């Protein structure tokens, strides 16, 4: 009777060996090629999410910058002092970047055309 179980044991040993070999091959050979593709696909979907959020995020930025300017003005009036020079530089930079964000849908096609030459 032990001879009848011999092919089954050999098949089981072969299956375990093949599965182990496939796992090692997947970890060493396939994963380095598949992982960057998965990461890029995930990054692409994240960029698509940000692109879809451009309108409301830009609106939120405009409200935040306007609120910050109102806060700086209110503090200046309350204290009867001029805002610090650094505050004006930071607020000017924030205003300029927000203006670029608002105008971006008009700027982007021209910029893409210039870069694709």
Each residue's pLDDT tens digit, 17-68: 777 777 666 666 665 666 677 777 777 777 777 777 888 888 999 999 999 9
Contact 65, 73 (CB under 8 A): no
d(CA 90, CA 38): 39
Each residue's pLDDT tens digit, 65-107: 999 999 999 999 999 999 999 999 999 999 999 999 899 889 8
d(CA 90, CA 15): 66
What is the phi/psi pair of residue 116, to 5°? -85, 0
pTM over 0.75: no
d(CA 61, CA 102): 9
Ordered by start, the domain boundaries in the chain are 1-52, 53-117
């Amino acid at each position: 009777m032990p001879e009848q179980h011999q092919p089954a044991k050999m098949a089981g040993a072969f299956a375990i060996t093949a599965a182990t070999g496939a796992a090692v091959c997947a970890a060493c050979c396939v994963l380095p090629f598949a992982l960057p593709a998965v990461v890029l696909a995930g990054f692409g979907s994240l960029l698509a999410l940000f692109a879809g959020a451009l309108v409301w995020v830009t609106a939120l930025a405009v409200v935040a910058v306007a609120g910050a300017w109102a806060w700086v003005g209110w503090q200046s009036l309350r204290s009867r002092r001029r805002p610090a020079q650094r505050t004006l530089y930071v607020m000017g930079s924030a205003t300029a970047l927000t203006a670029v964000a608002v105008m971006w849908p008009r700027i982007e096609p021209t910029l893409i055309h210039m870069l694709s030459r």
